Chain A
Amino acid sequence: MTFKKILIANRGEIAVRILRACRELGIRSVAVYSDVDRASLHVSKADEAYYLGAPPATESYLNIEKILAVAKRAGADAIHPGYGFLSENPKFPRACKEAGIKFIGPKAEAMEMMGSKTGARRAMEKAGVPFVPGSLRGLNSVEEGEQVAERIGYPVMLKAASGGGGKGMRLVFKREELRSALESAKSEAARSFGDDEVYVEKAIVNPRHIEMQVLADEHGHTVYLGERECSIQRRHQKVLEEAPSAIVDPDMRRRMGEVAVRVAQAANYTNAGTVEFLVDQEKNFYFLEMNTRLQVEHPVTELTTGLDLVHLQIHIAAGGELPFKQEDIAIRGHAIECRIYAEDPDNHYFPSPGKITMLLPPAGPGIRHDSGSYEGWTVPIDYDPLLAKLIGYGTDREQVILRLQRALHEYFVGGIQTNISLFQRILADGDFQAARLDTGYLERLLAREHEHVLEGMSPAEERVSEVVAIAAGLFAVLDPAPAASNAASSISEIIAKSPSGWKQAALREALRG
């Protein structure tokens, strides 16, 4: 059995990625769109497209009722949620099931289990999954905290049980600091979350973030497809990902992979999923969480395994068995993904929506460019400003770095600001090239920005500056009066069209894959 028509409940590059898979498989694709997305690429590239509603996601891409109404009207027999939006909301697969439409992803129960911290932990402990050692429950006294800390070893981290965003968290290096840290963590937790429960965990200093891709069919087969190194993050958002990780050898890959498979099986997980781990400096790995969806960074796994994850997701959802076994999967070559965002590197990486006046995408050997944008398109302010993913692949890590540097040189996005220059800095950085990475890497690199700026112009740069002066004059003669600045007008236009844009921007953090 296969599907005849798939509705893609998403937008941007991932909607385009999925509808491409549909076309390859001879399945009709149905796009949905909000007011600001009528001219977006996923609408024009799809076989069918239907209007959802106003730009706020609750009126459009997060609205289960509206999406299911479109699916029924269009006669879709399956829905792919992409990432972000409804992809990890268990209500969505449940509603799809009631409507008789197949959800391409895990079952609601598996999502629910993984969505609950304590629920996941209980099930995972039964399955023998390694966790960061800790007290597992709230501390009743300073003495109890001291005992646990002695057992697991300092430094330890105190964490609010209902916490998030760093609130109620304290790093404790020695016994003498524990009492006051616990008191202040408790009062901060009480103030922030109305719950002063605080537990203690071993602090992982400068961890790496490494995740394992798994794939499970509905016939009890689960495999792992290798890891992705995702340590390059800014404010807990991934910026650059790669596969394989430079520190993972075949034995570690097998051990992590087997744990990831056990996690998936303990949750009766089906379809594509990702098990995230924290890895300490001794290469011990600890379960962090499971992402119950296709990840933004899935292409690096596709390139190093030779598999098409979206094809496989569709195949599995249609009831197919995995067409290979664990021993058939081989990791070959290396791949690195750069997330190209419409944001301003000179302005604290603020979103930089507006009209793309010129777009010169890179191509050539070892380059994959998954994009949701085109020249002339206005990047809306309402959603995550991910423009495209630039993925380089090659024989080994060194070759991929060279290819990506070349591709970035070709890449040009005019009219708006992008973070393209950030990737040039990362790829040229000695620590990155030596794969000395941890989750604090990018903040440290950005803190060095000033030295970089103050270096001044090299003689070669001086010469280019003269070329620019000549070019400016030649432009004035050959191509007079550049189109009036539409950057300014289009930003105001976008704001005018979507009064809730700024509020929506806050949602964006949550919607990022």
Chain B
Amino acid sequence: MNYDVSVDGKAHRLELARKGDQWECKLDGRAVPVDPVLLRRNMLSLLIDGVSYEVRREQTVSGLRLSIGLARYAVELRDPRSLHSWQTESGSAEGKKKIVAPMPGKVVRVLVKQGAEVQAGQGVVVVEAMKMQNELKSPKQGIVQKVMAVEGATVNAGDVLLIVE
């Protein structure tokens, strides 16, 4: 099985094959000896050269998230053979990024227009919830491909507000 994996925006190519009870694993072309055991749903014990990692998986409004210890990582996973096999909705091979409402609330201001160039970390939409205004930022540098957010509109958690390409 082959996957394109992005971890916090960094792209990796992963090749996995099961040989009996062993795994063959290549990351970015380099062989990595892995010994995985699924402890329970969404919880993996992974031994790599004797180093032990306890990895937990969550599905959040903004996509798939894996964590080890205190560190959490936004993960996107795709099987390159299939165009429709993204495990998360939050991106694609071309690097589209959807900006979603983290909580239910009201769109107060849309700060960018379609076609505008944005920097990573630049505020794009302001959403108000619980009397607090919250500026959503672009996760990457790029062009605003589409603006779904409408000023004054009520949004639910997970609603797509804007797409940056």
Q: Which residues of A contact B (CB under 8 A)?
A: 344, 347-348, 350-352, 357-358, 360, 408-409, 412, 414-415, 420-421, 424, 461, 464-479, 481-488, 491-492, 495, 502, 505-506
| Residues from chain A with Cβ under 8 Å of B156 in the complex | 488, 491-492
Q: State the B residues within 8 Å of A (CB).
A: 1, 3, 5, 7-8, 10, 12, 14, 16, 18, 23, 25, 27, 32, 34, 36, 38, 41-44, 46, 48, 53, 55-61, 64, 66-71, 73, 75, 77, 87, 102-104, 129-132, 134, 156-158
Q: Are B36 and A474 in contact (CB under 8 A)?
A: yes
| Secondary structure of the A contact surface, majority rule | helix
Given A461-B71, A465-B7, A468-B73, answer yes or no on A357-B58 (Cβ-Cβ < 8 Å): yes
CB < 8 Å neighbour of B103 from A414, A464, A479, A491: A491
**Contact yes or no, B16 A479, CB < 8 A:** no
B7 to A469, Cβ gap below 8 A? yes
Give the residue of A360, A412, A495 whose beta carbon is less than 8 angstroms from that of B104.
A495
Please state if A477 and B16 are interface contacts (CB–CB under 8 Å). Answer: yes
Residues of the A chain whose Cβ atoms lie less than 8 Å from the Cβ of B34: 470, 474
A476/B38 in contact, CB under 8 A: no
Which residues in B have their C-beta under 8 angstroms from that of A478? 36, 38, 44
25 CB < 8 A contacts A-B: A348-B132, A350-B102, A357-B59, A415-B60, A465-B7, A465-B10, A466-B7, A466-B12, A467-B55, A468-B68, A468-B73, A469-B5, A469-B14, A470-B25, A471-B44, A472-B14, A473-B14, A473-B16, A475-B57, A479-B44, A482-B59, A482-B87, A483-B41, A483-B59, A492-B157
Chain A residues, Cβ within 8 Å of B103:
347, 350, 352, 491
Report A-chain residues with C-beta under 8 Å of the C-beta of B1: 473, 476-477
- How far apart sit A103 and B29, CA to CA, in the bound complex (Å)? 70
Contacts of A344 in B (CB 8 A): 102
6 new A-B contacts at CB < 8 Å, known A415-B58, A473-B16: A464-B53, A465-B73, A468-B55, A473-B3, A473-B25, A482-B87
Residues of A near B14 (CB, < 8 A) are 469-470, 472-473
Cβ contact of B59, chosen from A461, A471, A472, A484, cutoff 8 A? A484
B70 close to A474 (CB less than 8 A): no
Return B85 CB to nearest CB of chain A, in Å: 9
Contact A472 B56 (CB under 8 A): no
